[in-house]
């Protein structure tokens, strides 16, 4: 059962779910639910799940659909910010907040 409103944490490069959980730890303390998958190509997530930011955004949207979550806030950092922006553009109905930190225009 969900503890609170869900936040999808999108890590940068390098990184993985462990980095995302670290960033989201203060949100857990505030009773938010954290969803912290590794992006494609990191920590055993298959690269074929999405090589480009738009593909990764679609994969994350499918993940929250599979989890039965109608919408999320996103906290993204570094190259994960590109994925978050694609998510916002491609799936605006699934997003209730967007926070970007240390954004980069390099990598995917």
User: How many domains would you assign to the chain?
Assistant: 1
Q: Which letter does DSSP use for residue 45 in this model?
A: -
Query: Which residue segment(s) compose the domain that 33 sits in?
Result: 6-103
Q: Is the model's pLDDT at 108 over the cut of 60?
A: no
1: confidence class by pLDDT, cuts 50, 70, 90:
very low
Residues 6 or more apart in contact with residue 47 via CB below 8 angstroms: 40, 41
Q: Is the model's pLDDT at 105 over the cut of 80?
A: no
For 17-66, the pLDDT digits (tens) are 888 777 777 776 677 888 999 887 777 777 787 889 999 999 999 999 99
Task: Classify residue 1: in a domain, yes or no.
Answer: no
Q: Residues 73, 5: contact at Cβ < 8 Å?
A: yes
Determine the Cα–Cα distance for residues 27 and 45; give it in Å rounded to an integer. 24
Q: Is the model's pLDDT at 102 over the cut of 90?
A: no
State in Å, rounded, how far the first CA of the chain is from the last one.
32
Task: Classify residue 108: in a domain, yes or no.
Answer: no
Average pLDDT of the chain is 85
Quick one: what percent of the chain has pLDDT higher than 90? 50
CATH code for position 19: 3.40.50.1820
């Amino acid at each position: 059962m969900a503890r609170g409103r869900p936040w999808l944490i999108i890590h940068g490069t390098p990184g993985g779910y462990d980095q995302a959980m670290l960033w989201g730890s203060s949100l857990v303390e505030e009773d938010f639910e954290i969803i912290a998958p590794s992006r494609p190509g990191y920590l055993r997530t298959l690269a074929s799940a999405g090589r480009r930011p738009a593909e990764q955004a679609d994969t994350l949207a499918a993940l929250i659909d599979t989890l039965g979550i109608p919408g999320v806030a996103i906290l993204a950092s570094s190259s994960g910010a590109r994925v978050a922006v694609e998510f916002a553009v491609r799936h605006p109905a699934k997003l209730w907040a967007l926070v970007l930190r240390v954004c980069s225009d390099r990598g995917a």
